[in-house]
Structure 1
Amino acid sequence: MNNKTILYLVRHGQTEWNVLHKMQGHQDSPLTDYGVEQAKWLGDSLRNESIDLIYSSSSLRARRTAEIIRGELEVNIIECDEFREINLGVWEGKSQSEVRELYPMEFDNFWNDPEKFDLIGSETFNDVFIRAREKLREIITAHKGKTILIVTHTVVVKLLMAYFDNRRLKNIWKPPFIHPASLCKVVINEDDNSEIILNGDISHYKEIPTEG
């Protein structure tokens, strides 16, 4: 029996709002053609891996990415609200430049001091961390020794990788950058010790990244 649990964490492919630099959060926009290609490249690179389970954020951009990566693999995709992006309230659908102008302090905290980020009607980074971490722990406990793919969003990827890396919340935006359809890989041993193998990897890209 394989006692190592392999976890793949993936950000969704590029979306139309990524290209326009709009804040998405719980709102959604379709994958671009390039975003579809990114997901295909990642799926191709994982084709020889024995993926046992696929989880996806319930947002359509993540679900679509998961479907493309899965390809013809006969594995159900399990949607989870816990892996949705941070709820950004009134920011959603606005451009980053617009948000920066209307909410300068909150925008600065979002990128430079996430521990202090607090916007009426939105989640805090810690809110997202708690919901995503608890769901991840539940999945790992239930599926020890399996290979698990989770398709989610930038903030969730950053927070969960910070969890494995013992990185403080205030430092989550430090490199690596989480490009669309980038890949993180964590191996969790029988004693629950974890090892980060990949973090924000884009070696499967067949073209240089564009916007987003």
Structure 2
Amino acid sequence: MKVCFVRHGETDWNAEGRLQGHTATSLNEKGIRQSRECAEQLAGEEWDVILSSPLQRARESAYILSDQMEIPRFAANLFTELDYGYWNGKDKQSLFSDHSFWEWYQAEINKLEKQVKRELKALYQTYKDDAVIVVTHGLVIQQIEKLLVRKSLTDDEIISNGSFIYIYV
């Protein structure tokens, strides 16, 4: 199985450094361009399907990839971002000094890590003979890298919008 995890293109909230969580945010012009460039980079390879997180920005990126690469796409309830609840829309930098946010965030990251493990297993069981593109979120990809590389990654090590990583199983 070959999997390519793609981080959705940029939104205005990404550019502003705001937490998006489950908020419905659309790609900005740069995000549309990033998704098109990503499709161009991946187009030379054989792919069977594109899956995306159900969140709007990931679905929009997946649509661009699918349209440009002529590969079927589906939104799946897999590999979705944390829901930051009260903190959605807040500036990330200002939250780093908020003790209550940090406690909540650490607990949620632990849950996300377990969720990602389950979802990787489900992905493999469903698509083990396929080449799959999964459009998701930076924090999810960070957890995937952490699981596979077996080291803790910092928030600064989240891949940029429109970028991707490969996994071969």
Same structural fold, with TM-score higher than 0.5 when normalized by the shorter chain: yes
Matched, 1:25 2:15: no
Correspondent of 2:79 among 80, 83, 93: 83
Alignment partner, residue 202 of structure 1: none
8 Å contact 2:5–2:136 — kept in the other structure?
Answer: yes
Matched, 1:159 2:140: no
TM-score (norm 1): 0.72
Structure 2 Cα separation of the partners of residues 74 and 12 of structure 1: 18
Alignment partner, residue 55 of structure 1: 51
Correspondent of 2:104 among 118, 128, 141: 118
Alignment partner, residue 133 of structure 2: 149
Instruction: Please list every run of 5 or more consecutive structure 1 residues that lacks an aligned counterpart in the other structure.
Output: 110-116, 189-212
Report the Cα offset of residue 176 of structure 1: 4.0
SS at match of 2:10: coil
* Closer, same or farther: CA 77–159 of 1 in aligned 2, 3 Å: same
* Closer, same or farther: CA 97–138 of 1 in aligned 2, 3 Å: closer
CA deviations on 1:102-143 (whole Å, 9 max, x unpaired) are x62245x4xxxxxxx425xx9711211222221221111222
Higher helix share: 2
* Residue identity matched to 1:187: Y
8 Å contact 2:66–2:72 — kept in the other structure?
Answer: no
CA deviations on 1:26-79 (whole Å, 9 max, x unpaired) are 113111101100000010011111111211000010000011112244433222
Instruction: Please list every run of 5 or more consecutive structure 2 residues that lacks an aligned counterpart in the other structure.
Output: none
Alignment of structure 1 residues 188-203 onto 2, 5 Å: 188=169
Structure 1 Cα separation of the partners of residues 147 and 89 of structure 2: 29
Taking only the aligned residue pairs, the percentage that are identical comes to 24
TM-score (norm 2): 0.89
Correspondent of 2:113 among 112, 116, 129: 129
8 Å contact 2:8–2:61 — kept in the other structure?
Answer: yes
* Closer, same or farther: CA 43–73 of 1 in aligned 2, 3 Å: closer
Report the Cα offset of residue 98 of structure 1: 4.5
SS at match of 1:124: helix
Structure 1 Cα separation of the partners of residues 113 and 26 of structure 2: 25
* Residue identity matched to 2:168: V
User: Max radius of gyration: which structure?
Assistant: 1
Alignment of structure 1 residues 68-79 onto 2, 5 Å: 68-79=64-75
CA deviations on 1:68-98 (whole Å, 9 max, x unpaired) are 1122444332222332111112110122244
Alignment partner, residue 191 of structure 1: none
Report the Cα offset of residue 180 of structure 1: 0.2
Aligned length: 169
Q: What's the Cα RMSD here?
A: 2.1
Structure 1 Cα separation of the partners of residues 92 and 58 of structure 2: 21
